[in-house]
Amino acid sequence: MSICSVKYLKDEDFIKKFGKRLKQVRESEGLSQEQLSLLTEVSQSQIARTELGQINTSISHVATYAKFLKVDAKDLFDFSKIS
């Protein structure tokens, strides 16, 4: 019998960049965290923690954010646009 161990990888820098980019796109759409929360049904505190790079958000949340921010999901990963 073989036991496979998977190491959980958490790329702190990537998570922080994603959060900064999410905030940038949200603000460019003129939305507050509370407004995005109401649209997406994701708690405002979770959005805040995501934007601060404190949590590793799910791919489902990424798709939801993109939908309500009116961007392609890939645009949330375009870190070259972070100012």
- Quick one: pLDDT band at residue 6, thresholds 50, 70, 90? low
Q: Which residue type occupies 37? A: S
Whether 18 is in a domain gets the answer yes
In a domain, 82, yes or no: no
Model confidence at 1, in pLDDT bands (50, 70, 90)?
low
Q: Give yes or no for residue 52 having a pLDDT over 90.
A: yes
pLDDT, tens only, 20-49: 999 999 999 999 999 999 999 999 999 999
Number of structural domains in the chain: 1
Rounded to whole angstroms, how far apart are CA atoms 41 and 39?
Answer: 6
Domain-embedded: residue 4:
no
DSSP 32: -
The rounded distance, in Å, linking the Cα atoms of 43 and 33 is 9
Domain range holding 30? 12-74
Q: Is the pTM of this model over 0.95?
A: no
Cβ neighbours for 34, distance < 8 A, ≥ 6 positions apart = 44
Give the per-residue pLDDT at 83. Answer: 84
Asked whether residue 40 is domain-assigned, the answer is: yes
Pair 49, 55: CB distance under 8 Å: yes
The CATH number that applies at residue 56 is 1.10.260.40
Determine, yes or no, domain membership for 5.
no
